[in-house]
Amino acid sequence: MKIAHISDLHFGAHDPTVRDALLAHLIDASPNLVIASGDITQSATDVEFAAARVFFDELPMEVFVIPGNHDLPGMDLTRFINPFGRYRHHLISELNPELAAGPVHIKGINTARRVLPHWNWANGAVSDVQRQDIARTFATASAPWRILVLHHPLMSPKEFPLDVTVFNGQALLSTIAEQRIDIVLAGHQHHAYIETRQDTDHKTLFVSASTAMSTRIRRQPQGFNLLELTDTTLRIDQLHYADGRFTTFEALSHVKPAVSL
Ligand SMILES: [Fe+2]
């Protein structure tokens, strides 16, 4: 099974040339599924969401999407009255989606909040109800690979520490270990990296993607991740945009250790 992990598209602050290159690459690579881990728009306007809808509709495969902090309106009343109204209207009503397909069982969690007990409302949070939802999801999951999708990352790249606060993040890390989640996909930092965390006999890969098509680049160009999975093996290609196309700049192979029962 092939999965493309794209993040931080930021429609409204996107580069149309990169957008077209990404669309062409995804159509050509033909993954079974595209996962978009939030910040689909820049300012959560109807025009931006409509542009995102067009992009997703042009993809021939299923798209699994969760919101990011930029998918909430800015400082207007809508943010407080109906924060995800436009997101739901244009994309999907479920903010914490779930999908079982082939060797993967995927759970998405919305970590964006209309308000936070912090000066920076771009940060994220996870609630106890969401952690229970994760536990419930994976209690009955039988697929070999358990994947959690978040917008806000729980790790930071070693070479480029970026301060991201996720309220209840430590509790979520415990849930991830308890539920033996194999892969956590995230974005937000506009920086691609893979960190691993070993808990007792289980290893979790924390995979972050750069911004897929926005002009808001930091140390890396635009990019995305391509995951190829069998029941026991995983290969992750990290691609970046250079000279008008996306190419692999790093690849990681991982074998799922046998579970001792
Ligand atoms: Fe973000």
**Among 117-121, 135-139, 192-196, 224-228, which is the least confidently predicted range?**
117-121
Q: Is 48 helix (H, G, I), strand (E, B) or coil?
A: helix
Is beta strand 2-6 parallel, antiparallel or unpaired with respect to 223-229? antiparallel
Question: Distances in Å between the alpha carbon of 15 and those of 157, 241, 260?
Answer: 25, 12, 48
E strands, 30-159, where?
33-37, 62-66, 98-101, 104-108, 124-125, 145-149
Checking if the pLDDT of 80 tops 90, the result is no
Amino acid at 148: L
Going along the chain from its start, the domains and CATH numbers come out as 2-255 (3.60.21.10)
User: What is the 1 CA–ligand 1 centroid distance (Å)?
Assistant: 28
**All residues with CB under 5 Å from ion ligand 1:** 39, 68-69, 188
Q: What's the number of CA atoms in the CB half-sphere (13 Å) around residue 132?
A: 3
Residue closest to 79 by CA, chosen among 49, 122, 46, 44: 44
User: What is the 52 CA–ligand 1 centroid distance (Å)?
Assistant: 16
C-alpha 97/C-alpha 4 separation (Å) is 17
C-alpha 256/C-alpha 230 separation (Å) is 10
Residue 259: which pLDDT band, with cuts at 50, 70 and 90?
low
C-alpha 149/C-alpha 7 separation (Å) is 11
CB of 207 closer than 8 Å to CB of 58? no
C-alpha 84/C-alpha 145 separation (Å) is 30
What average pLDDT does this structure show over 119-135? 94
User: What is the 38 CA–ligand 1 centroid distance (Å)?
Assistant: 7
Residue 260: which pLDDT band, with cuts at 50, 70 and 90?
very low
C-alpha 18/C-alpha 244 separation (Å) is 8
User: What is the 151 CA–ligand 1 centroid distance (Å)?
Assistant: 7
User: What is the 101 CA–ligand 1 centroid distance (Å)?
Assistant: 27
Checking if the pLDDT of 39 tops 90, the result is yes
Mean pLDDT, the chain, integer: 94
Helix ranges (DSSP H) in the chain:
16-29, 46-58, 77-81, 85-90, 128-139, 169-178
pLDDT at residue 164, as a whole number: 86
User: What is the 110 CA–ligand 1 centroid distance (Å)?
Assistant: 12
User: What is the 251 CA–ligand 1 centroid distance (Å)?
Assistant: 25
* High-pLDDT (> 70) share of the chain, %: 98
User: What is the 216 CA–ligand 1 centroid distance (Å)?
Assistant: 11
User: What is the 207 CA–ligand 1 centroid distance (Å)?
Assistant: 15
pLDDT at residue 258, as a whole number: 64
Helix ranges (DSSP H) in 30-76:
46-58
User: What is the 54 CA–ligand 1 centroid distance (Å)?
Assistant: 21
pLDDT digits (tens, 9 = 90+) for 159-185: 777 778 899 999 999 999 999 999 999
pLDDT at residue 261, as a whole number: 42
C-alpha 75/C-alpha 73 separation (Å) is 7
**Among 61-65, 120-124, 226-230, which is the least confidently predicted range?**
120-124
User: What is the 256 CA–ligand 1 centroid distance (Å)?
Assistant: 30
**Contact partners, residue 259, CB within 8 Å, separation at least 6:** none
pLDDT at residue 195, as a whole number: 94
User: What is the 229 CA–ligand 1 centroid distance (Å)?
Assistant: 27
Q: What's the number of CA atoms in the CB half-sphere (13 Å) around residue 100?
A: 7
Checking if the pLDDT of 130 tops 80, the result is yes
How many CB atoms within 10 Å of residue 231?
Answer: 11
User: What is the 139 CA–ligand 1 centroid distance (Å)?
Assistant: 29
User: What is the 239 CA–ligand 1 centroid distance (Å)?
Assistant: 20
Q: Is 189 helix (H, G, I), strand (E, B) or coil?
A: coil
- Token pair of 27, please? 């159509």
User: What is the 4 CA–ligand 1 centroid distance (Å)?
Assistant: 19
